[in-house]
Structure 1
Amino acid sequence: MGIGVSVFLLAVGGVLAFAVSDRLSGVDLTAVGWVLMGAGAVGLAVALLFANQRGRTSHTSVHERRDIHD
């Protein structure tokens, strides 16, 4: 899950948790909103952690040169 999907889940979850007061039969939309916001927050934390690790890597290149004398 990337940063964009995580922010989308946070936004949809926030709308369901705070702006919608309706109930479907057997489904509490406020609870669904909180679950989506939790999943979005965890996904965002993981995506930022991986992005931070990717930025700290170092790359080395090795060039091997062989001189062949007859």
Structure 2
Amino acid sequence: MSVGLGIFLFVVGAVLVWALNVSVTWIDLDLVGYILMSAGALIFVIGLVFMFRRRKSISTVRTIADPESSQQVTRKDTSIDDR
């Protein structure tokens, strides 16, 4: 979601800077556009960092006794946590 929000803010800022030719006395729309573009780029980068950092591997080792031969059996499972 943050990647999409970053792209949206960047596009809105770019429209304010380069596509809109409206002069308002109480606010500088070019400055607001540049602020939105920089905030969008920052949110985009932070979203990518969190998205790639979210994955981690989990290893589980289980030891059970085989009922027929009374030997210990060890099994190792590796999975990826996608929370």
TM over 0.5: yes
Q: How much is the aligned-residue C-alpha RMSD, in angstroms? A: 2.0
Partner of 2:50: 50
The structure that is strand-richer by fraction is 2
Q: Give unpaired runs (5+ residues) of structure 2.
A: 66-83
2:59 counterpart letter in structure 1? T
In structure 1, what is the Cα distance between the partners aligned to 2:60 and 2:13?
46
Q: Which has the higher contact order (CA 8 A, sep 6+)?
A: 1
1:40 counterpart letter in structure 2? G
- How do 1:1-70 residues align onto structure 2 when only pairs under 5 Å count? 2-55=2-55, 57-61=56-60, 63=62
Q: Residue 15 of structure 2: SS of its match in structure 1? A: helix
Q: Residue 60 of structure 2: SS of its match in structure 1? A: coil
Q: Residue 48 of structure 1: SS of its match in structure 2? A: helix
Residues 24 and 65 from structure 1, CA distance in 2 versus in 1: closer, same or farther, beyond 3 angstroms?
Answer: farther
The structure that is helix-richer by fraction is 1
State TM-score, norm by structure 1: 0.78
Work out the number of aligned pairs and report it: 66
Larger Rg: 2
